[in-house]
Structure 1
Amino acid sequence: MKKHHALQLYDYHVWCNNKFFLRMKELPKDIYDREIRNVFPTIAETLVHIYTADTIWLGVMQENSMEEIQASIAHAHEKTKKKGLEEMEKLFQHLSEDYQYFLNNERNLDKEISPVHPQFGRLDTYLSELVQHVVNHGTYHRGNLTAMIRQQGYSSIPTDYVFYLYELSSTK
């Protein structure tokens, strides 16, 4: 049976994050929290942003209350405060396991979902579209991370979806 596209997209998101963490471990440690002019001041703060956003959207997909989601934001900020690269990698790994548990146990990834945002109001969408949003958001900010690495004089790694597909097909 073919995997639902939302599950494959989320697997791609995890694959990209893992590739990024592997590349960061190859580079000098000081580039992780060196301040530079970019969308975020450091690679570390960019990773915190991605992690926090992923935490928020998991809560939305689980149809948690706004109070629960707000609490998860505060908890994510506390968990990520002054964390090094290896600690952030572990946090990302644990969060991806939470996502995979949720997504693999959800019977209908195309079910309608209607989160209500305090500023933007109600959004009638589908669970699979929110997964797409998480992946797009991560892709956007991994592009920021690539630029930040290059600004510091190093090459990054390609994380285009097609490279994920090639790697996936070579392991079959």
Structure 2
Amino acid sequence: MKKHFTDLFRYNEWANNRVLITLEEGEVKDDKIMTLFSHLLSSQIIWINRIKDLPTSPFPLWEKYKLHEIKSMNEESNRNWRDLIENHPRETFEEMIFYKNTKGTKYENTIREIMVHVLNHSSYHRGQVISRLRELDITPPVTDYIVYCRQK
């Protein structure tokens, strides 16, 4: 299970980095794109902090950040997810996490369920960013998992 999640989070990191390179090289400052990508990374940080039982996040969920801030958030998120997976004491991630959502409602999910959610959520919003890039006639990066597999 560790190897599987290591691979998936490396893919997530690779895909996010490809989008960031496109935004930087194209000098993209579109509000919708910046808000969506900010949200994607804020969410990744919120979830890792919930797992670690830390204050949720210094980054509001739907705040729009500048590219240099987004890059910093991306690095923080990648570092924290890598650390969690590499240093997790078990091969599985079935421990239950008790947390409150952003509205204060209490929930519980396993680390595994949260990790799958984070990966799915990130792919969803990357897809929205890529769709918006196309609307702006900007060639988006290819972020398909199979392309990542071919390149590693």
2:147 matches 1:166:
no
2:11–2:148 CA contact under 8 A, matched in 1: yes
Query: Identity of counterpart residues, as a percentage?
Result: 23
Could you say what secondary structure the match of 1:156 adopts?
coil
Contact between 1:46 and 1:141, CA under 8 Å: does it hold in 2?
Answer: yes
Q: What is residue 123 of structure 1 aligned with on the other side?
A: 108
Q: Which residue of 1 aligns with 2:97?
A: 114
> Which of residues 135, 141, 145 in structure 2 aligns to 1:157?
141
Using the alignment, how far apart are the partners of 1:53 and 1:33 within structure 2?
A: 20
**Structure 1: tracts of 5 or more residues without a match:** 35-41
Q: Indicate the RMSD between aligned Cα atoms, in angstroms.
A: 2.4
State how far apart, in whole Å, the 1-side matches of 2:89 and 2:150 are. Answer: 28
Larger displacement relative to structure 2 (133-142 or 91-100): 91-100
Matched, 1:52 2:42: yes
Residue aligned with 2:59, SS: helix
Q: What amino acid sits opposite 2:59 in the alignment?
A: A
Write the deviation string for residues 81-135 of structure 1: whole angstroms up to 9, x where unpaired.
Answer: 664223311221122112212221111242321324343x43343x223211111
Tell me, yes or no, if the aligned pair for 1:23 and 1:157 is still in contact at 8 Å. yes
Which segments of 5 or more consecutive residues in structure 2 lack a partner in the other structure?
Answer: none
Contact kept? 1:32, 1:43, Cα under 8 Å: yes
Q: How many residue pairs get matched?
A: 148
Aligned to 1:39: none
Does the aligned pair in 1 maintain the 2:99–2:107 contact within 8 Å? yes
Secondary structure, in 3 states, of the residue corresponding to 1:77? coil
Contact 2:38 2:64 in 1 (8 A): no
Q: Which runs of 4+ in 1 moved over 6 A?
A: none
The Cα of 1:3 is off from its aligned counterpart by 5.4
CA contact (8 A) 1:16 1:159 kept: yes
**Is the CA contact 2:50–2:99 (under 8 Å) kept in the aligned structure 1?**
no
Against the structure 1 CA distance between its residues 84 and 122, is the aligned structure 2 distance closer, same or farther, given a 3 Å change threshold? closer
TM-score, normalised to structure 1's length? 0.75
The code of the aligned residue for 1:16 comes to: A
- Write the distance in 1 (CA, Å) between the matches of 2:10 and 2:33: 22
Shift of 1:12: 0.8
Taking the aligned partners of 2:69 and 2:116, their CA distance within structure 1 comes to 26
CA distance in 2, matches of 1:95, 1:116: 19
